[in-house]
Structure 1
Amino acid sequence: MARKRKQEEAQSGAPEWMTTFSDLMTLLLCFFVLLFSFSSIDAKKFTAVLQSFQGSLGVLSGGKTLENTPYIEEALNDERLTKQIEETEDFKKLKEKLEEYLKNNHMQEQMLVDFEKRGLLLRFKDNVLFDAAQADLKPQAKQTLKFIADLLKQDEFTGKHIRVEGHTDSDRLVNSKKFPTNWELSVTRASNVVRFLIEEAGLEPTRLSASGYSKYHPVVPNDTIENKAKNRRVDIVILRSDFVKSEPYY
């Protein structure tokens, strides 16, 4: 009779597995409290991160998927700055390789490699790529363009867009039936460079564009023979990522 009473009392209480489960939950709670005691949490940053998830995946209440807070904006700016630094380092390596090529081929006076706000500038000076008033690429010019194209096929530059720009001086073309004005000459020269880079050097067509500016973008005034020679040029600009969206052809 006593044994039966004890069994009834045991059955009237909580199941035995609940005791073990409660102990486990208590231990887990102590564990997380201990972790919390070792950590430091910025309440404002935590709130900003939490707000950024609002409306995302239906987990939290609807609203903006990204809260415009200084902390979120700061993180985005840091990421953008990191990418800009990496891109600048890649451009520096490319510049060094090009300058080494120019030195080995005694072309330092024929081509300029320099940074500008849009990216890395490769400037072919007067008559390096073309004969006077002509738009057919010279054989040596093709070798140089092929070397440049091979560099631009490397992994760190495969996403870079390339703009080819033709420029002339202010002198009118004389006895040229093929090119009535400097407009046609500058555009055709730029187009022929792009065509070579695509059809013979193997660059992706979507990465390239050509434009001609005639005499209207001089680097120096067209007031001396020496200055006019400086203005007769073809520029290849490897665009920075920040400037790609601002270009009208993208």
Structure 2
Amino acid sequence: MAKKKQQEVKMGAPEWMTTFSDMMTLLLCFFVLLFAFSSIDVQKFEAVMQSVQGSLGVLKGGKTIETSPYVNDALDDDKTTKQLEELEDFKKLKEELDAYLEREGMKDQILVDLNAKGLLLRFKDNVLFDSGRAELKPIAIQTLSFLSDLLKKEEFVEKYIRVEGHTDSDPILYSKKFPTNWELSVTRSSNVVRYFIEGAELDPGRLSASGYSEYHPVAPNDTLENKGKNRRVDIVILRSDFSKSYY
């Protein structure tokens, strides 16, 4: 009886494993190269991660779990970049204005504040106008001229500007020109806008003027100090997102 020929058993991993390993190595190299060439938007990445925490779907009404605009606006790369660039531009503008006011000794008279709407310049009490009057003071024109030069820069040339006049609650006495605080607040803001257009040659389409009389106070009208805070002119350089709601 013939002996059966013993089958030869090969040692080591199967041959297909070598090919598979080579393929996986190449794929790994490919993704490493992709990662190396890419850039990560940290703010966008965090918004995406928050949106998927606890769920991989979306809520009713088409909203994600995280209400960040970076998520709900379809994570628009260009928009995110523009918002960050705009914020940096506003910070630089604030620094320039702060430095100017420091040099001129006006830090206590004009507030410069970066907020959600844009950059706020608050001219306190009688910085721009004498009491009960609406003619710009010479020192006011100097400051507005410096501001106008900054607003002509390329990064701000398309920004919209709101000028708002405010008064305290004391009624105007013996004035035919300004029967009430309404007329005074509107005329003051209009004269600032008029200077920007005629004196500084800013685009009129960027500007708007409004007067609020005593009805938008920043402090109670119960002391002389608080009334001084409420007598003010606010100039707001609007962020792009807020310009749409005003114009």
* TM-score over 0.5 for the pair: yes
Q: For 1:32-43, list aligned pairs within 5 A.
A: 39=30
| SS at structure 1 position matched to 2:128 | coil
What residue identity is the alignment partner of 1:116?
A: N
Q: Report the CA distance between 1:83 and its aligned residue.
A: 1.2
**Counterpart for residue 181 of structure 2:** 182
**Counterpart for residue 136 of structure 1:** 135
Q: Is 1:162 matched with 2:151?
A: no
Q: Report the CA distance between 1:202 and its aligned residue.
A: 1.1
**Counterpart for residue 90 of structure 1:** 89
**Partners of 2:116 and 2:223 in 1: how far apart?**
28
**Counterpart for residue 101 of structure 1:** 100
Change (3 A) 1:156 1:175: same
Q: For 1:13-162, list aligned pairs within 5 A.
A: 39=30, 74-76=74-76, 78-162=77-161
**Counterpart for residue 191 of structure 2:** 192
**Partners of 1:201 and 1:214 in 2: how far apart?**
26
Q: Over residues 17-75 of structure 1, what are the superposed CA-to-partner deviations in whole Å (9 max), with x where a residue is unaligned?
A: xxxxxxxxxxxxxxxxxxx97756xxxxxxxxxxxxxxxxxxxxxxxxxxx9x999544
Unaligned runs of 5+ in 2: 1-25, 32-61, 65-70
What residue identity is the alignment partner of 1:119?
A: G
**Partners of 1:185 and 1:150 in 2: how far apart?**
27
| SS at structure 2 position matched to 1:155 | coil
| SS at structure 2 position matched to 1:237 | strand
Q: Report the CA distance between 1:80 and its aligned residue.
A: 2.0
Bigger Rg, which one? 1
**Counterpart for residue 42 of structure 2:** none
Q: Report the CA distance between 1:189 and its aligned residue.
A: 0.1
Say what the alpha-carbon RMSD is for the aligned residues.
2.2
Change (3 A) 1:72 1:110: closer
Identity %: 66
**Counterpart for residue 4 of structure 1:** none
| SS at structure 2 position matched to 1:246 | helix
**Counterpart for residue 235 of structure 1:** 234
**Counterpart for residue 57 of structure 1:** none
Q: Report the CA distance between 1:178 and its aligned residue.
A: 0.5
Q: Report the CA distance between 1:116 and its aligned residue.
A: 2.0
**Counterpart for residue 246 of structure 1:** 245
What residue identity is the alignment partner of 1:102?
A: L
| SS at structure 1 position matched to 2:155 | helix
**Number of residue pairs matched by the alignment:** 186
**Partners of 2:187 and 2:114 in 1: how far apart?**
26
Q: Report the CA distance between 1:84 and its aligned residue.
A: 1.2
| SS at structure 1 position matched to 2:159 | coil
The structure 1 segments of at least 4 consecutive aligned residues displaced by more than 6 Å after TM superposition are none
Change (3 A) 1:151 1:228: same
Q: Is 1:224 matched with 2:223?
A: yes
What residue identity is the alignment partner of 1:168?
A: T
TM-score normalised by the chain length of structure 2: 0.71
| SS at structure 1 position matched to 2:245 | coil
**Counterpart for residue 207 of structure 1:** 206
Unaligned runs of 5+ in 1: 1-35, 41-67
**Partners of 2:149 and 2:201 in 1: how far apart?**
9
